[in-house]
Amino acid sequence: MAHRTSFEVATRGRGTHDITRLVQDAIARAAVDIGHALVFVHHTSASVILCENADPSVRHDLEAFAARLVRDGDPLFTHDAEGDDDMPAHIRTILTASSITLPVAGGRADLGTWQGVYLWEHRTAPHRRRVSVTVLA
Amino acid sequence: MAHRTSFEVATRGRGTHDITRLVQDAIARAAVDIGHALVFVHHTSASVILCENADPSVRHDLEAFAARLVRDGDPLFTHDAEGDDDMPAHIRTILTASSITLPVAGGRADLGTWQGVYLWEHRTAPHRRRVSVTVLA
Amino acid sequence: MAHRTSFEVATRGRGTHDITRLVQDAIARAAVDIGHALVFVHHTSASVILCENADPSVRHDLEAFAARLVRDGDPLFTHDAEGDDDMPAHIRTILTASSITLPVAGGRADLGTWQGVYLWEHRTAPHRRRVSVTVLA
Least CB–CB distance from B94: residue in C34, C62, C137:
C62
Q: Does A48 touch chain C (CB under 8 A)?
A: no
Total count of domains within chain A: 1
Query: CB atoms < 10 A from the CB of A127, how many?
Result: 18
Q: Does B94 touch chain A (CB under 8 A)?
A: no
CATH number at residue C57: 2.60.120.460
Which ipTM did the prediction report?
Answer: 0.97
Asked whether the whole model's pTM tops 0.95, one would answer: yes
Query: CB atoms < 10 A from the CB of C44, how many?
Result: 24
% residues pLDDT > 70 (chain A): 100
CA A129/CA A7 separation, integer angstroms: 8
Q: What is the pLDDT of residue C1?
A: 76
Burial group, residue C6, by CB count within 10 angstroms (0-12, 13-18, 19+):
middle
Least CB–CB distance from C91: residue in A57, A62, A137:
A62
Q: Compare all CA atoms of chain C with the CA of B94 and give the residue at the minimum distance.
A: C96
Q: What is the dihedral of CA A109, C110, C96, B43, to 10 degrees?
A: -160
Q: Residue A40: its chain B contacts at CB < 8 A? A: 101-103, 110
The answer to whether the Cβ–Cβ distance between B62 and A90 falls below 8 Å is yes
pLDDT tens digits, one per residue of B17-47 = 999 999 999 999 999 999 999 999 999 999 9
CB C123 within 8 A of CB C14: yes
Outline where chain A has alpha helix (H): 20-30, 56-69, 86-95
Residue-level pLDDT, tens digit, chain C, 137 residues:
799 999 999 999 999 999 999 999 999 999 999 999 999 999 999 999 999 999 999 999 999 999 999 999 999 999 999 999 999 999 999 999 999 999 999 999 999 999 999 999 999 999 999 999 999 99
The answer to whether the Cβ–Cβ distance between A40 and B115 falls below 8 Å is no
The answer to whether the Cβ–Cβ distance between A2 and B95 falls below 8 Å is no
CA B134/CA B27 separation, integer angstroms: 8
pLDDT tens digits, one per residue of A9-57 = 999 999 999 999 999 999 999 999 999 999 999 999 999 999 999 999 9
CA C31/CA C3 separation, integer angstroms: 9
The answer to whether the Cβ–Cβ distance between A36 and C38 falls below 8 Å is yes
User: Would you give the DSSP letter of residue C85?
Assistant: T
The answer to whether the Cβ–Cβ distance between A112 and C36 falls below 8 Å is no
CB B56 within 8 A of CB B42: no
Bridge partners for B38 per DSSP: B101, B134
Strand, coil or helix: C66:
helix
Strand, coil or helix: A69:
helix
- The distance of C10 to chain B (nearest Cα, Å) reads 23
CA A121/CA B4 separation, integer angstroms: 34
The answer to whether the Cβ–Cβ distance between B40 and C102 falls below 8 Å is yes
Q: How confident is the model at residue B1 (pLDDT cuts 50, 70, 90)?
A: confident
Three-class SS of C18-63:
ECHHHHHHHHHHHCCCCEEEEEEECCCCEEEEEEECCCHHHHHHHH
Q: In C, residues 118-137, which contact B (CB 8 Å cutoff)?
A: 136-137
Burial group, residue C23, by CB count within 10 angstroms (0-12, 13-18, 19+):
buried
Domain holding A50, by residue range, is 3-136
Please check the confidence at residue A1 and state whether its pLDDT lies above 80.
no
The answer to whether the Cβ–Cβ distance between C49 and B94 falls below 8 Å is yes
Strand, coil or helix: C30:
helix
Q: Compare all CA atoms of chain B with the CA of C91 and give the residue at the minimum distance.
A: B95
Closest by alpha carbon to C122, among C41, C28, C40, C1? Answer: C41
